[in-house]
Amino acid sequence: MPPRGGDVSQSLLAAKRLRNLVHAINVTDGSRAIMRMHSMAVCKLLLEANIEPVLQIACRDKNRIGVQAEILGAHALGIKNVLCLTGDPVRVGDQQNARPVHDYESVQLLKQVSSFNLGKDPVSGLLPNGPTDLFPGTAADPNSKNFSSLIKRLERKKEAGAKFIQTQMVMDYKILEKFCKEIARQLEMPVLAGVFLLKSAKNAHFINKVVPGAEIPTSILNRLEKAKDPELEGICIAAEQVKKFVDIAKGVHIMAVKAEDKIPLILQKANLSSLNL
């Protein structure tokens, strides 16, 4: 998560501690409609620290001209991985008088990245300096109640150029297994399964209340409520999920909001602390 201010030192320190433990680091773009430093600035600093970034681009705050400029800028800076998102609604943020733009949504954004990768100018002809070289991905929620709609949406994203799927948090390995088997593998798209670090029962109840699609089951809520050390219990739960999910999906995306320092312990408990990077 980029800083809420101009000093990026703490974000970089958190990332550097993970440098030899993970393959890449996601950098969010205005997550939950809250102001933070531009994700591209942090991605560039990660590259300079020899850490591979995944640039998240959300459509909420920019018209197509701004989005197009951002894609070209990412290519110029050597950023390869782009996660294409529609963006969280302004109403969930802390500046509700802000005006959402949404000139594009995620499928149109994927099409724009793919078009630039083919060297096409958005107005006419070809880009004067040749094509971009970006690796676009998309988000999906395996917990969706409307499975047929989820399939159709991901088919559109695949057609638009998505090369990988990064899921929202998944708490049930059976849900992930069904998603991978019945959708992702049929589309031949690798999946990074979302693992969210829960810090307490209160935190879990809050996530269930405010995060769209979040379904933290009663069994996990009970574990956190009964735990003598809820923080450690949350780490153990995340490690268990990582261990199961890597046998189902291509990899995992660990979301440890404001607790990135706990990721090494999660990987250690999941027997993944010695990756061949």
Question: CATH classification of 9-140 is 3.20.20.220, yes or no?
Answer: yes
Q: Which of 170, 197, 204 is nearest to 261 (CA)?
A: 197
Dist CA 178 CA 208 (whole Å): 22
Q: How long is the chain? A: 277
Q: What confidence category does residue 274 fall into, taking pLDDT thresholds of 50, 70 and 90?
A: low
Tell me, rounded to whole angstroms, the distance of Cα 166 from its chain centroid. 6
Q: Which of 45, 60, 59 is nearest to 14 (CA)?
A: 45
The DSSP-derived string for 227-256 is -SSHHHHHHHHHHHHHHHHTTTSSEEEEE-
Residue 64, class by beta-carbon neighbours within 10 Å (0-12 exposed, 13-18 middle, 19+ buried)?
middle
Q: What percent of the chain has pLDDT over 90?
A: 89
What does DSSP say about strands 53-58 and 25-27: parallel, antiparallel, or unpaired? parallel
- In this model, does residue 212 exceed pLDDT 80? no
Tens digits of per-residue pLDDT, 123-173? 999 999 999 999 999 999 999 989 999 999 999 999 999 999 999 999 999
Residue 273's pLDDT is what? 73
Dist CA 136 CA 168 (whole Å): 17
Extended beta strands in the chain, E state: 25-27, 53-58, 81-85, 135-140, 164-169, 191-196, 251-255
Tens digits of per-residue pLDDT, 162-177? 999 999 999 999 999 9
Query: How many angstroms separate the Cα of 101 from the Cα of each of 65, 90, 91, 96, 114?
Result: 12, 10, 13, 13, 22
- Contact of 73 with 57, CB cutoff 8 Å: no
- What pTM, to 2 d.p., does this model score? 0.94
Q: Inter-axis angle of helices 147-160 and 106-117, to 10 degrees?
A: 20
- In this model, does residue 277 exceed pLDDT 60? no
Residue 260's pLDDT is what? 93
Domain ranges of the chain: 9-140
Q: Which H or E run includes 205?
A: helix 201-210
Tens digits of per-residue pLDDT, 51-82? 999 999 999 999 999 999 999 999 999 999 99
Tens digits of per-residue pLDDT, 19-31? 999 999 999 999 8
- In this model, does residue 222 exceed pLDDT 70? yes
Average pLDDT, the chain: 94
What does DSSP say about strands 191-196 and 251-255: parallel, antiparallel, or unpaired? parallel
